[in-house]
Every structure is written in structure tokens, then in C-alpha cells.
Structure 1
Amino acid sequence: MADEIKYEYKTVRAVRGTDGLIISKMRKDGWELVEQVQGTLRSTLTFRRPKKPQPWLLIGAAVAVLVVLAIVIGAASALSGGGETQEGAGKSAATVSEKPSATPTPTAADSAATEVITPQNNPDFGKLLKADSCDDANLNFATRHKGETVAFNGSIVNMAHHGDYRTRYDFLLGPGDKGPNTAAGPAFKYEDVDILDLNLTGRKIPATVGEGDKFRFVAEVGEFNADQCVFFLDPVSTEVR
């Protein structure tokens, strides 16, 4: 059918926990998620988007220019009659028709997974997750990495309504699996967010969340409040563990 939509497809392999970040970036570029396969360490994401129509007018103009160029070169060769000119004309024609080699370049989605800071690829972040909530390591890390993305396994230490809102909350998060009994690590905080802002992912997405629930948190680094010893983050994705 003439009106049938044709799609181009792209497959992206993402480090576990970065799915939400990559899906968000791809959607901004016009891609639609069609399949998500969870692996042990990586997820395979398949996207598609409608193919752009070929600019036939531009292609026709380019072909016309090449034809005219070939005629001009042929005429110049006939007038000169020199073998050297013929060889030069052949090289010129080859240069015009030669296509540049296709060198794959990393996309924003491909680079997103490598930009996420984890305890495994950043020793400072690994030490931070074991430091006291008021330790200078909190301020140092927030200053150097504000606006960057981190990922860690953690749990909800505390969950409370934000002000008078019934569906917006303040979440206190801690590294590890101990929930309200977390004794070490920064006091990470999501402030004034609803459940949808968490961007829950995973095989079994819960309808609600609460204290003690364990997740793989992917978040953007915010500021550290030294007076309250609170390290602010903004949620990117939250994978059920």
C-alpha cells in the first residue's frame, strides 16, 4: 500500500538500571520503544521510528549536476586529446562518485550507559555509599558531579507526604537493603515527587511503594545540604529488585 508507514529500527543494550534514562533520551529523538528484554546485567531495548521520505527533488538535482559535470569533463578531454588529461578526468569522475566510508558514531543512547556513575566504575562513589551522611565526601561528590547520573542498589528508608499533598511525597533513600534500619551511607532524598516520577521499571512493577522496598535507583545528582546532612537527588528510573 502506498500509505503504509515504513520504519527504521535500532537496538540498544543498556546496563541494568539505566533503561529509563535511555528510553527517555531515545523518545526525545523520535524513537518508540517496541520491545524490552531484561537480562542479568544488561537489558536489550528495541526502538523504531518512521523513515523520513526521500528528498527526491534534491536527489534529482544532484543527478543532474553529475550528468552535466560528466559532459563537461568529456568535452574537455576530447578537446585536449591528451592521455594525461583523460587520466585526470577519470580521477575527477571517481572522486565525484566516491561515497565516504560509513564510520559508526556513538549515539546519545549508546553513550548514556557509559556516563552513568556506579560504585564499580567510580571509586569515589563507592566510598561515598559507605561514608557517614554528614561526611565531607557528600559535599565533595555533589560539587564535582552535580547534574550527572548515578546508579546504585538501595532501599526506601522513609516515605512521607510532601506538605499537605496526598499524592506527592518526600523519599529518604539509603544504599543497601536495610530500609529504615540503614545505618551507613548518605541520606539521599527525593523531594516533592509522586509515584509516576519514580519511573518504575522491572518485571513486576508494584502499584504502590513503601519503606523497606528495595530498588535499583538511577538518579541525577543534586545539591548537598550540609546543615541537614541531606543529599538531594532527582529520580530518573527505579528498577524493582
Structure 2
Amino acid sequence: MNTTIAMGCALVDGQDFIYESVKVVRGFESRTVSKKESLGWELVSQTPASMGRVELRFRKKKQRISKKSMIIAGSVLGCLALIIGVGAVLEDSTDDEPAGESLSGTEAPSASVPSLVEQRAEEKAPDRSLSEMKEAETSVRALTVDSDKRVAELMATTQDCGPLVAQFAKDYRGKIIKFDAAVWALNKHDDYHTRYDILVSYGGFTEEGISGPNFQFRDVSPTLDLHFGAEDVPDSIGVGDELTITAEVKEFEEESCLFLLEPVATSFR
């Protein structure tokens, strides 16, 4: 299921609301509404969308910060600033003393205390940087039908179990490929209830002009292991969903004619 979120803020009857639009596969509306309502959202409207999906629009009251909370927060920051200032003065006084001596027998602090803004920036920066670096690296490494001749030949072949497919899997093992695909089958892996074997094929969900191997993601969680973007994580996926897949080439099983892939990134088309 493709989930697209849009948010905004408006004043209604003296209350601030934030709005969120969610696109879900038709038939999963009630599940999504129940989940959102449990988080405090209110369903505003429900309208048909493209490709068998429904757009649900929710709203929720925007939390306000009371004056009392603002005063307390200001007092805390003021105390922190005072402590930092005193620490700086003590450090300057210590610098004027002879080597090996310190004020009142204690050592001066070795570094100033970072501000709350600096601390929060340091906490958030690594995750964002790593995510951006990984995305950029994947984009550069991914081979497509436009950038690689053999990838184009693979997707164009009608012999999904022929020597061309087997040789490609052997030569390109460990490399990253990117292509448009559609989900053709989704079966539970062994006796698991949340892990699946997902069969995908190059192109759209149509019987006309099907080509390329029988690609499979084996033993995966559809909502976790396919690595959807943060704003595109679905509650579920199903047969007929059309995706853009970035994956690592694993191996080709000649006996089952399945071309195994390891998912790297997935998005809905």
C-alpha cells in the first residue's frame, strides 16, 4: 500500500489543527482509520484516488505550549546560562594562579558546557548525514536499463530461465540494479505469518509484453525489509502494486527459475 502524507495547519473554531492526507489501497480504509484514531486523529474526508487507492484526510488539534511551561523553560535556560557564566569566570581565575594550584583545591573545568541547541544538533546530525550519504551512494552505484547494456538485455529477454539470465546473475552478483516492477505473487514464507516470498516482474502489472526474469524477494517483511522511504512506509502491499525497486543481485536458481534479489530501497510508482 502506498502511503503519501501531506500536512498543514489552519484555524478552525478557535482551535489550531494539523492535517494529514494518507493514500491507501482500496479495502484497507477501516484499518488505517482505526490506527489513526487511536493516535488522536479525526477522519475529515474520504475520496477516490488513482490506481485503486483511496485518499483519507485526517486532522488533529495542534498542541499549544502554556505560558506557565514557557516561563519554566525560560527559567531553566536562564539557570543554565548562569552556571556556564560562573564556570567561565572560575576558569579565568584559575588561569591566573601558579601551575599545579587551583581554586579551593579543585580543578577548573577542561571545557565549556555546550548549549542545548548544540547538543540537539549533534544528536540529530549523524542520522541525517548517514541517511543522505547512503541514499547518494546507492543512487550512484545502481545500474539501470538506460545506463547498462546487459541490464537492458536482461529485462528484455522472454526466456526467463535461459542461459542469459544465469550468466547475468553470475557476472553481476553483489551489484546494485534499479528497475520498475510489479508484484505478481505474495506467499507466506514457510510457517511465518509476517514474512513472505514476493515475486516481482519487470514493467507494469499487465499480461501484455511481460519480459525479464522471475525476480523474488525471499523471506522478507514487506513493511520493513523492502526499505521504503520514511514517508512511504505502507501498512501492507499486494498483488498488482507497481514499484520502483533498487536491489542487490544475489543468485539465480536454475531449478526453480527464480532470480533472487536482496532489497536495498523500494518506492511506489
Whether TM exceeds 0.5 here: the answer is yes
Q: Secondary structure at the match of 1:233?
A: strand
More relative contact order, 1 or 2 (CA 8 Å, 6+ apart): 1
Match of 1:143 in 2: 170
Compute the displacement of 1:225 (Å).
0.8
CA pair 165-181 structure 1, distance change in 2 beyond 3 A = farther
Retained in 2: the 8 A contact 1:154–1:177? yes
1:113 CA drift (Å): 2.2
Q: Which residue of 1 aligns with 2:198?
A: 171
Match of 1:193 among 217, 220, 223: 220
Match for residue 119 of structure 1? Answer: 145
Distance 1:183 1:48 in 2: 37
8 A Cα contact 1:157 1:179, kept in partner = no
Q: Partner residue of 1:210?
A: 238
SS at match of 2:260: strand
Retained in 2: the 8 A contact 1:120–1:126?
yes
The 3 A distance-change label for structure 1 pair 121 and 190 is same
- Cα 1:202–1:32 shift into 2, 3 Å: closer
Q: Does the residue aligned with 2:225 lie in a helix, a strand or coil?
A: helix
Answer yes or no: is the 8 Å Cα contact 2:232–2:267 preserved in 1: no
Per the alignment, residue 129 of structure 1 pairs with 155
Q: What is the rounded CA distance, in whole Å, between the counterparts of 2:144 and 2:165 in structure 1?
A: 15
Instruction: Tell me, in whole angstroms, the C-alpha distance in 2 between the residues paired with 1:124 and 1:214.
Output: 23
The 3-state SS of whatever aligns with 2:152 is helix
Instruction: Provide the C-alpha distance between the structure 2 equivalents of 1:110 and 1:219, rounded to a whole number of angstroms.
Output: 15
State the SS of the aligned residue for 2:160.
coil
Residues 173 and 48 from structure 1, CA distance in 2 versus in 1: closer, same or farther, beyond 3 angstroms?
closer
Q: Which runs of 5+ in 2 are unaligned?
A: 1-80, 82-112
Aligned residues: 152
> Taking structure 2 as the reference length, what is the TM-score of the superposition?
0.50
**Distance between the aligned counterparts of 2:253 and 2:130, measured in 1?**
42
The structure-2 alpha-carbon separation of the partners of 1:124 and 1:218, relative to structure 1 and needing over 3 Å to count, comes to: same
Question: Measured at CA, do residues 155 and 202 of structure 1 come closer, stay the same or move farther in structure 2, by a change above 3 Å?
Answer: farther
Q: Give the alignment of 1:1-241 within 5 angstroms.
A: 2-4=113-115, 5=118, 7=121, 31-33=126-128, 47=129, 110-131=136-157, 132-178=159-205, 183-195=210-222, 196-201=224-229, 204-241=232-269
Task: Deviation per CA, 1:207-231: give whole Å up to 9, x if none.
Answer: 1100010010011100001121110
Give how far 1:151 is off.
Answer: 0.6
Once the two structures are TM-superposed, the CA of residue 3 in structure 1 deviates from its matched residue by 2.1
Identity among equivalent pairs (%): 27
**Letter of the 1:157 counterpart:** W
Q: SS state of the match for residue 114, structure 2?
A: coil
Mark the CA change 1:161 to 1:226 in structure 2 (over 3 Å): closer, same or farther. Answer: same
Query: Does the Cα contact within 8 Å between 1:156 and 1:179 map onto a contact in 2?
Result: no
Partner of 2:56: none
- In 1, the alpha carbon distance for the partners of 2:178 and 2:191 equals 30
| Cα distance, 1:203 vs structure 2 | 5.5
Q: Partners in 1 of 2:150 and 2:233 — Cα distance?
A: 31
SS in 2 for 1:216: strand
Question: Aligned equivalents of 1:48 and 1:234: distance in 2?
Answer: 20
> TM-score, normalized by length of structure 1?
0.56
Q: Distance in 2 between matches of 1:220 and 1:157?
A: 20
1:217–1:136 Cα change, 3 Å: same
- Per the alignment, residue 21 of structure 1 pairs with none
